Every structure is written in C-alpha cells, then in structure tokens.
Amino acid sequence: MAVGTAVGRPSKQTPTWQRVLNSEWLAGYLFAAPFIIGFLVFFAFPMFYSAYLAFHKWHVLDPAPRFTGMTNITRLFTDDFASLSLYNSAYYTIIAVPLQLIISFSLALALTQKVLLRNLYRAVFYLPIIVPLVAWAVVWQRMFHIDYGIFNVILSWFGVTPRAWLSTTELAKPAMIIMSLWYIGRQMVIFIAGLTSIPPALMEAASIDGANGFRRIIRIIVPLMTPYIFYNMVIAIVNSFQSFVPAAIMTEGGPENSTLFAVYYIWRTGFNFGKMGYASALAWEFFIIVVAFTLVQFYASRRWVYYEN
C-alpha cells in the first residue's frame, strides 16, 4: 500500500474520465439536473423564444414566423386595448394591495393576542390559500350572482336592490378587489411570524412609559414590522399584476373590457387570436414594467424599511 495516499480518493494513475465520474461537482450537477433541465426547457427557452417572436409576425397556423422588425414594438404605443389592460391592472393593484396589507396586518395583530380558539381562527383564515384558483373563482362567481348571490342577499336585508356585480362596468373591478381580500392568509401568517419575533421587553417598557395600545403600534410595532410589510407588499403587487384566472373564468375580460387585465389580454391575443408575435411583444412590455416597478420599490424601501442592523 502506498504511503501518503488519501483513502477514498483516486490516485494520479486513475484515468481522467474516472476521476471526473468520481468528483463531487459531477454528483452535485446530477442531483440538480432535474431543476436545471426544467428551468432551461420551461423558463429560459420560452423567454428567449418569445423575445425572438416579438420581432416577427406569426400566427399559430402559419408554417414559420416572418420577420417584421419593430412593427410589434411600435404597435404597443397605439393599441388602445394594451393601454386599457395596463390601466385595469394598475387600478386593481393600487386599491387591492393596500387593502390586503391593512386587513392581513390587522388580523395578525388580533391573532397574536390571547384569544380563545386562536389557532382555529388562524387556520380558517389560511385555508383559502390551499383552494385551487379555478374553484375559488367559480365559488365567488356564484357569490356575486344577481339573483341568489350572498352579497345581494345581504344587501336585500337593508332594502338595497340587487346589484349586477360582474355585469356592470362600475362594479366589476370592485368585485374583483373584494374577491382578492379572501386570499390574504399567506400575508397574515408572515405578519404573525414577524409580530411574535418582537421582544416583549420593548412593549413592556413602552407601557411603563405610558404609551397606550395605539402609540405602541405606531411607534414600535410598525417600524419593526417594515421588513415584513415590504416583503408582503412586493409579493402582493407582483401577484396582483399577474391576475388572470378570475378575469378568465368569471368575466372573460368584460363587461366592456373593464376587467381586461394585462395578463388576460396577452393570453387572449396569443391563444384566442393566434397572434403569437404581438403577444410576445405585449408580454415583454409587461415584464419590463413589472421589473422596473419592483426596482423602484426596492430603491424607495431604503427610506422607510428598518432592519435590525
């Protein structure tokens, strides 16, 4: 036996191919191969191919894409439906996200107190997260029904006439916003985790100094919770911009395109009308807007998000 040879390691006389097969980096890549292949096939390739299609005209029935230069790009600035879809998405996001954050934060504050059946309440508010989006949309479509929907039943108790929630332009987007509040369980759980990490000594010191409950929330809890608020806000904005299932199932973009959100318009352009080239241009426009908006949020967070360090 050769002296000084490490046990379990290939010697210098081992062929190169065998040393490669026995190396740790190859084992690591083999274990990561399912994710790498899935990312390349289902994410990277479609993104690069959609960037290629953005400069081409291609109907799904055409044999091959035809290069058109900047035609699809310039059309983005003259397409009224593209502008309307961005407006609808922005309207939905600007109103829905603050409401989601306020309500989920309030629930988290309530459910970190000593409340009877607290864990049951937490589970009930979190349960909607595990409901599939399609089933979720169908249930809410029934709840907004003009004849037997629960919202109109409640309004009838106060003598209010039934409302066509999903059939009028004035109520369609508010109905979507109300529906989004049912999906705040994930934000609530994150807020609860942040609230339970606040040192009780800080709250006790504030109470001794005479701070009431409201001042403790404003002066201590909210500043310490800003990292969690920021995280939930970024995720909620991205998710709200990507709203698709409710509009596709409940209203199909109507009435009068009042719920024609950006993602639904991209899908309709590509798969209903078969204009894959222009749909790719719309998708990249939307991607750039969302990324730019997210970067602005990260830059602005330096002024109001406080970390422990």
Cα(163)–Cα(121) distance, rounded to whole angstroms?
31
Q: Is 91 helix (H, G, I), strand (E, B) or coil?
A: helix
pLDDT bucket at 309, cuts 50 / 70 / 90: low
pLDDT tens readout for residues 200-242: 888 888 888 777 878 888 888 999 999 999 999 999 999 999 8
Write the pLDDT tens digit of every residue in 4-43: 444 445 555 666 666 666 677 777 888 899 999 999 999 9
Q: How confident is the model at residue 1 (pLDDT cuts 50, 70, 90)?
A: very low
Sequence-separated contacts (24+) of 172-179 with Cβ below 8 Å:
172/251, 172/254, 172/255, 172/258, 172/259, 173/88, 173/91, 173/92, 173/258, 173/259, 175/144, 176/92, 176/96, 176/243, 176/246, 176/247, 176/259, 177/92, 177/95, 177/96, 177/99, 179/140, 179/246
Q: Which residue has the higher pLDDT, 201 or 75?
A: 75
DSSP-assigned letter for residue 30: H
Contact at 8 Å (CB) between 55 and 67?
Answer: yes
The one-letter code for the residue type at 6 is A
> Mean pLDDT, to the nearest integer, of 65-80?
93
The span from the CA of 123 to the CA of 59, in Å, is 47
Residues 286-306, mean pLDDT to the nearest whole number: 92
Strand partners, 66: 57
Query: What SS3 class is residue 185?
Result: helix
High-pLDDT (> 90) share of the chain, %: 58
**Would you call 222 helix, strand, or coil by DSSP?**
helix
Given a contact cutoff of 8 angstroms between Cβ atoms, the answer to whether 89 and 261 are in contact is yes
- In the chain, which residue ranges form alpha helices assigned H by DSSP? 16-21, 24-39, 45-53, 71-75, 80-110, 118-126, 133-143, 150-157, 169-180, 185-196, 200-208, 213-216, 222-241, 245-246, 262-267, 276-300
Q: What is the pLDDT of residues 89-105, one digit of tens each?
A: 999 999 999 999 999 99
Half-sphere exposure of 6 (CA within 13 A, CB side): 5
Looking at the predicted structure, is the pLDDT value of residue 81 above 90? yes
Q: What is the pLDDT at residue 64?
A: 86
The band of 265, judged by pLDDT with boundaries at 50, 70 and 90, is: very high
Quote the Cα angle for 160-99-241, to 5°.
110
pLDDT, position 7: 47
62-66, Cβ contacts within 8 angstroms, sequence gap of 24 or more: 65/276, 65/277
Phi, psi of 184 (to 5 degrees): -100, 10
